[in-house]
Amino acid sequence: MTHQRKKMRTETDTLSAAALSRRGFLKGAATAGVAALTLGVTARGVLAAAPAGADTVFNPFVSIGRDGTVTVIAKHFEMGQGTTTGLTTLVAEELDADWAQMKSAFAPADNSRYANTFLGAQGTGGSTAIANSYLQYRKAGAAARDMLVRAAAARWKVTPDSITLRDGILTSGKKRGTFADFVQAAAALTPPQDPVLKTPDQFRLIGVDHAAARKGHTGPGRKDSSGKTDGSARFAMDVHLPGMVYAVLVRPPQFGATVTGFDDSAARALPGFVAAHALPNKAGVAVFARSTWQAFKAREAITAQWDLSKAEGRSSAEITEALRQAAAKAELPVQNGPRRADITAAAAGAARTIEAEFSVPFLAHAPMEPLNCVIEPTATGVRLHDGCQFPAITQPTVAAILGLKPEQVEITTLYAGGSFGRRATPTSDYHAEAAMAFALLGGKTPVKLVWSREDDIKGGYYRSAALHSARIGLTADGGIAGWDHRIATKSILKGSPFEAVMVHDGIDETSVEGVKGSLYTLPEMAISLTDFVTPVPVLWWRSVGHTHTGFVMESLIDMIAAETGKDPLETRLSLLNPAAPTPQQARMAGVIRTARTLAGWGQPVVPGKARGFASHLSFNTYVAMVVDISIDGTTVHVDHVHAAVDCGVAVNPDVIRAQIEGGVGFALSAALRGEITLDKGQVAQSNFPDYEPLRLTEMPKVSVEIVRSAEAPSGIGEPGVPPVAPALANALFAATGKRVTTLPFSTAGFRFV
C-alpha cells in the first residue's frame, strides 16, 4: 500500500453516542473532563510526542525495537478475553506491519496516559477495551507508520507518496528497507498532527477471520496463546521473590462479622510459621508462613473469636422472602413514564393478565486462578505484582493504607487467569488485604497474599441475589395495556468510589440495566427499585445487571407470545416498532432475523426435542440465540446454541466467536446448577464439588454468525451471557409447558446431562 491514504469515513471515525454513554459512568465522567482523556492524543486527535530519550518509543502505545520488533503497549490487561490480540491488530493494521513482528506488553499504572476513555480511569471492564481503544490505537499505528515513511523518504531522497509499506517492508522503486533500518531516525521526528487512517475496504487484518487463516489465508492469531501453552506467560501466582513470605487470612464465618481475638499457640509450633496478626479493619487474621501450604496449615491451627452482632445470620429462604417483601414495596421510580397507579389500574382492567415472580441466587465468579498478588518494597515505595484490572483504584487504595502517594505504588501488570468481574472490585479488596499484611510485617518483606478456592467460593463479592415481580395487562387483541415491574436487589455501587457518577436519583444503573432502556416499545411500563440490604458483599459478574434482567425480560416476552398464541420471534419483532424502528431497534431486528435463518427457526421439531429463543442488548452489542434441547421427562441435554451477534466492526472475528462460545458455557454453568446458598449466614458451598461448573460433556455445540457492520466496535466479553438462560427456559416451556422462573434450573426438578 502506498503512503497515500483515503480519509476514513465519518461514521467510523467518530464513536457513536450510544458507545460514549456506556454504563452510566460516562455521563458523570464526561462532566469531569473525560472528553479530553483520549490519552496520548491531543484535542485534535493527534498523538502526543514520545517521551524524551526513548529512541524507539513512537507514542505511549507503540515502540519499535532496533531489530524491527513492534511492541504494542496494552492499556487493558489480559484475562483471557483476547484484548491484547485486538489492540495489537489495530496497531498492526495501520502500521502495515508483519503480524510475526508484533508483540504486546502491559502498560504501567499511569492514569494520565492509559485511562479507559469510556470510564475516565485506567482499568479494564464493562466490555469496553476494544470499543474505547479502536481509534486511539489505530491512530497510534498510523502515526508510527507516517514517521517511518518520512524517515525512509528523507534517507532515500524520495517523496513519501512514492513509498509502499506492506508486511513491515518499505519500498520505493528498487530501494527496500525494514522498520529496523529507519527506527531511530523515525522516532526523532515530530508525530503527525492528524494521522490518516485506512478506510474499511483497505483493511488486511481488521475483520479477518483466523479460522479462515488456518486454511491458508493471512490473519491475526491470538498473541497470548503460545505463552500460555509453553508456560512462559507470567501470572501473579508465578511470582517468587527472595525472602518472600506467604499470607492467607482467617476469614469470618459470616459476612459482617469482626474478629475480637485469636489463639495462634498451636500454629507457632508448625514448620514455616512466621506470624499472625489481626487486620486493622478487624476483617480477619493475617497468617504468615514460608510457603503457601505452610500458611494454609497454620491457618487451620488458629482459633478466632468473632463479633457477630452485625453479621448476616439469615438463610437463603429468609433472604428470598425478604427480597419478595422488598420488591412489593419498591418505590424508587427507575425511569420517567406512567404513574404506577395508572399502570396498576390499566393492568387490573385488562382483558388478560400475566403475573410472574422471578428469583435468582447469589453467584460466585470462580475464576480459574484464585485471587493472589505480591507486594514488595522499592527504593521509592512499593511494587505490586498482579493481573490488575483497575490500576486507577488499586494505586490510591494501596497508597492510602501504606501512607504513600499513589505514584509511589508501582504496578507490574501480569496475565490473570480469568476474572468475570471479581478482580475489578471498587474497593480493591484483596489488594487492600495485601497492603495491610505487608504493613503488619513491617513493610520491608515481600508478601504474597493468596486466596484458596474455598476462600474464593465462600468469600463474597457475589453476583447479587435478585427478585423481580411483574404484572402485565393485555388488551383483547394482545397489546400491552400496562406493565408494572418491580425489582429488589443489592446495589453494587452505593458506598463505593463509583457512586458519585454511576448512581443517579438513588438508582444504581447496574441494578436495572436491561429492563430500563429495553428496546421493546413498551410505553405503558412502570419500573421501580428497592435496594436490598445485607452484609453479603456483591459485585459485577459477567454481564452485571443483565444477568438477571435479561432472564426476566426475555421470559416475560415469551410469556406474552404464549398467552397471545403468537410466534416468539414475531412477537419480538412486532415490539421493535417495525414501521419506524430506531437504529438500535433495527439492529436488534437484524440479529433476530439472522438467528432465525441460522437456526432454521420454524422447521418442525421432532418429539423429544424443543427449542427456545431469546435476544438481548448489552454493552451496545446485540445478541439473539436459539437453544435446542433434548428432553426425556426431566432429564435434559442442551444440544445446540445458535447465536447471532452484531458488535459493530468485528476486529477479530475468531476472538468474538470464542467470547460468545465462552459466554454460553459460563451462562450454562450458572443456569443449570449455580447458586451460593446461606445456612444461618454461613455459605454452604466451598469448592467445585458443590459449586459445580459446566462439564465438557454438557457443553453444547455453538454456532455463531457475526453480522457485518460499519458501526463502531462494541463490547463482546459479556453480551454472550444474558440470552442463554431465558432461551433455555423458553425451550423447557416449549417442551413441558412448565415455566421456570427461579434459577438455577436444577431447583425446578430438571437434571442436566
Concatenate the DSSP letters of all residues of 641-680 into one string. Answer: EEEEEE-SS-S-HHHHHHHHHHHHHHHHHHHHT--B-EET
Tell me, what's the pLDDT at 342? Answer: 80
Average pLDDT for 658-677: 98
Ramachandran quadrant class, 289 (left: phi over 0; alpha: psi -120 to 50; beta: rest): beta
Average pLDDT for 501-516: 94
Average pLDDT for 165-178: 98
Is residue 165 predicted with pLDDT exceeding 60? yes
In this predicted model, what pLDDT tens digit does every residue of 52-73 receive, in sequence order? 334 489 999 999 999 999 999 9
Report d(CA 592, CA 616) in Å as an integer. Answer: 10
Neighbours of 302 (CB within 10 A): 18
Per DSSP, the chain holds a count of helices (H) and strands (E) of 23, 30
Tell me, what's the pLDDT at 210? Answer: 64
- E strands present in 108-182: 164-166, 169-172, 175-178
Is residue 211 predicted with pLDDT exceeding 70? no
Tell me, what's the pLDDT at 31? Answer: 31
Average pLDDT for 603-623: 98
Tell me, what's the pLDDT at 1? Answer: 55
Q: Which three cell numbers stand for residue 128?
A: 469496553
Q: What is the 3-state secondary structure of 57-102?
A: EEECCEEECCCCCEEEEECCCCCCCCHHHHHHHHHHHHHCCCHHHE
CATH fold for domain 237-309+371-450: Aldehyde Oxidoreductase; domain 4 (3.30.365)
In this predicted model, what pLDDT tens digit does every residue of 464-480 receive, in sequence order? 999 999 999 999 988 99
- When the pLDDT of each residue in the chain is averaged and rounded to a whole number, the result is 92
Q: What are phi and psi of 116, to 5 degrees?
A: -70, 115
Tell me, what's the pLDDT at 331? Answer: 84
Residue boundaries of the structural domains of the chain:
10-230, 237-309+371-450, 316-363+462-752
Tell me, what's the pLDDT at 593? Answer: 99
DSSP secondary structure letter of residue 282? S
pLDDT band for 497, please (50, 70, 90 cuts).
confident
Report d(CA 743, CA 540) in Å as an integer. Answer: 18
Q: Which three cell numbers stand for residue 243?
A: 525472602
Burial class (CB in 10 A: 0-12, 13-18, 19+), 682: middle
Q: Could you tell me which CATH class the domain 10-230 is placed in? A: alpha beta
Is residue 574 predicted with pLDDT exceeding 60? yes
Tell me, what's the pLDDT at 54? Answer: 43
Average pLDDT for 325-343: 83
pLDDT band for 36, please (50, 70, 90 cuts).
very low
Average pLDDT for 678-684: 99
More confident residue, 505 or 623: 623
Q: What percent of the chain shows pLDDT beyond 90?
A: 86
Question: What are the distances in angstroms from CA 748 to CA 86, 583, 739, 741, 752?
Answer: 41, 39, 9, 9, 12
Is residue 26 predicted with pLDDT exceeding 50? no
Which positions ≥6 away from 75 have C-beta within 8 Å? 39, 61, 87, 107, 113, 114, 115, 116, 122, 133
Q: Which three cell numbers stand for residue 49?
A: 510526542
Average pLDDT for 538-563: 98
Tell me, what's the pLDDT at 27? Answer: 34
Flag the least confident range among 13-17, 148-152, 527-531.
13-17
Tell me, what's the pLDDT at 431? Answer: 99
Report d(CA 10, CA 200) in Å as an integer. Answer: 12
How many angstroms separate the first and last alpha carbons of the chain?
A: 54
Tell me, what's the pLDDT at 316? Answer: 99
Tell me, what's the pLDDT at 437? Answer: 99
Tell me, what's the pLDDT at 167? Answer: 97
pLDDT band for 346, please (50, 70, 90 cuts).
confident
Of 5-14, 345-354, 683-692, which has the strongest mean pLDDT? Answer: 683-692
pLDDT band for 4, please (50, 70, 90 cuts).
low
- CATH of 316-363+462-752 given 3.30.365.10, 1.10.286.10, 3.30.70.660, 3.20.20.210: 3.30.365.10
Q: Do 316-363+462-752 and 10-230 have the same topology in CATH?
A: yes
Report d(CA 394, CA 206) in Å as an integer. Answer: 33
In this predicted model, what pLDDT tens digit does every residue of 628-664 receive, in sequence order? 999 999 999 999 999 999 999 999 999 999 999 999 9
In this predicted model, what pLDDT tens digit does every residue of 685-714 receive, in sequence order? 999 999 999 999 999 999 999 999 999 999
Report d(CA 630, CA 735) in Å as an integer. Answer: 9
Which positions ≥6 away from 672 have C-beta within 8 Å? 694, 698, 744, 745, 746, 752
Tell me, what's the pLDDT at 17? Answer: 37
Is residue 8 predicted with pLDDT exceeding 90? no
Q: Report helix, strand or coil for 381.
A: coil
Among 531, 527, 476, smallest CA distance to 508 is for 531
What size, in residues, is the chain? 753
Tell me, what's the pLDDT at 56? Answer: 84
